[in-house]
Amino acid sequence: NTMFLKPGQQAGGGGGGGGDDDMYDYDYSIDLAPTANVPASSMGQPAGAGARMMTGQGGRMMTGTASRMGQPPGTAAGGGAGDVRPMTSVSGAGYQSASKQTNRAFDPLNQGRGAAPALAEKAENSPEDLAKDMEKQVNRLIEVSADAAVKDDYTTALEQAKEAGKKERALCKHREANGLVDQINIDLTYAVCFNLANAYHKNKMYDEAIHTYSLLVKNKQYPQSGRLRVNMGNIYYEQKKFPQAIKMYRMALDQIPPTGKEIRFKIFRNIGNAFVRLGQFQDAIQSYETIMAGNADFQTGFNLVLCYYALGDADKMKRGFAKLLSIPIPGMGDEDEEPEEAKQAVS
């Protein structure tokens, strides 16, 4: 670097020049590489001749870097070489330094941990398995009882039905004791009770049969069980308890939807027959006429004519016979019909 001195000035900044020249006693310098000429040890010294050289544009250029000259990167101002600033932003994101992962392989799914442990083996005689076995036994007993009833072996049917009832009650207690209440099979209970009631009926144990049917009918878990009142009505009919039979038949009608016409007509026929047994022919006629208007059959038509005869109504008897002749008889073909001459002779 080159210093330009005015005339009459010394190199040290003092000069004996004229007064006008002293007003301009300021050293202009252009320092293109200030760090090359000013050692780091001179920073912080009192301002001298050398310091005045840094007060220009070059001095402002040094203010940002001179305080950190000689320090390693990554250190704070005034800190030693060992005071490294922690990488908080990197570690907070979940990353780690490379030095800590040099011995670990990339395994995002943790497959290097090995195979999963074996599942715990289920006990062979667990409460659920035992309940399933007991349920199979109950179903088997019901099948044996029903098969015996079909073969008219009513004694065996009743014995197997009672045994099925005992097994089913033991099954329910077992499930309640082992916290398996949600697995109780209400359909199985229905099947057991129905089969038992039917076995009682076949063995003419009417009171036991009525009692068993009543358990099903009164249970709100079986909304369709009201139809079983037909069976209860049949039991009362066999006992010649016709008023109770008619009551049960009518209660059963309330459970049958209008779409079940065939079943409804059969119940009406039973009601009519019960009224005939009671000698209430007018009430029987109402039931029979309902059947003849919807689904006429020969037996109902014949019973209706007998009721007209019992009441002495000859006109209705004639209309009843005419209606009866128009009803086709099942199993009779055209070749079985009477000759035309025989029909004219009868008329």
The pLDDT of residue 165 is above 80: yes
Other Cβ atoms within 10 Å of 159 Cβ, number: 16
> Tokens 């098969």 sit at which residue?
147
Least confident of 46-60, 70-84, 298-312: 46-60
pLDDT band of residue 90 (cuts 50, 70, 90) is low
* Terminal Cα distance for the chain, rounded: 157
Please give the Cα distance from 347 to 345 (Å, whole number): 5
The per-residue pLDDT for range 240-266, each reduced to its tens digit, is: 999 999 999 999 998 888 888 899 999
- Please give the pLDDT value at position 146: 95
Point out which residues pair with 15 in neighbouring strands.
Answer: 9
pLDDT band of residue 268 (cuts 50, 70, 90) is very high
- Please give the pLDDT value at position 62: 45
* Residues 301-322, mean pLDDT to the nearest whole number: 92
Q: How many CA atoms lie within 13 A of 261 on its CB side?
A: 8
- Using alpha carbons only, give the angle 159, 160, 165 rounded to the nearest 5 degrees: 100
243 SS3 class: helix
- Please give the pLDDT value at position 135: 93
- Please give the pLDDT value at position 143: 96
Cβ distance 271 to 249 under 8 Å?
yes
Q: What percent of the chain has pLDDT over 90?
A: 46
The per-residue pLDDT for range 25-72, each reduced to its tens digit, is: 545 455 555 554 445 444 444 444 444 444 444 444 444 444 444 555
- Please give the pLDDT value at position 255: 87
Q: By C-alpha distance, which of 147, 151, 127, 128 is closest to 139? A: 147
Point out which residues pair with 9 in neighbouring strands.
Answer: 15
- The whole-chain average pLDDT of the chain stands at 76
- Provide the phi-psi class of 153: left if phi over 0, else alpha when psi is between -120 and 50, else beta: beta
- Please give the pLDDT value at position 345: 45
Point out which residues pair with 75 in neighbouring strands.
Answer: 84
pLDDT top residue among 145 and 340: 145
- Please give the pLDDT value at position 144: 96
Q: Full-prediction pTM beyond 0.75?
A: no
Least confident of 5-19, 91-105, 112-126, 175-189: 5-19
- Please give the pLDDT value at position 106: 74
Alpha-helical (H) ranges within 45-153 are 49-52, 57-62, 88-92, 127-150
- Please give the pLDDT value at position 125: 77
The per-residue pLDDT for range 223-245, each reduced to its tens digit, is: 888 889 999 999 999 999 999 99
The pLDDT of residue 303 is above 70: yes
Please give the Cα distance from 325 to 335 (Å, whole number): 17
pLDDT top residue among 18 and 263: 263
What DSSP line would sit under 290-345, residue for residue?
A: HHHHHS--HHHHHHHHHHHHHHT-HHHHHHHHHHHHTSPPTT--GGGSPPHHHHHH
Please give the Cα distance from 282 to 55 (Å, whole number): 136
Q: What is the separation of C-alpha 8 from the centre of its chain, rounded to a whole number of angstroms? A: 108
pLDDT band of residue 309 (cuts 50, 70, 90) is very high
Please give the Cα distance from 244 to 227 (Å, whole number): 15
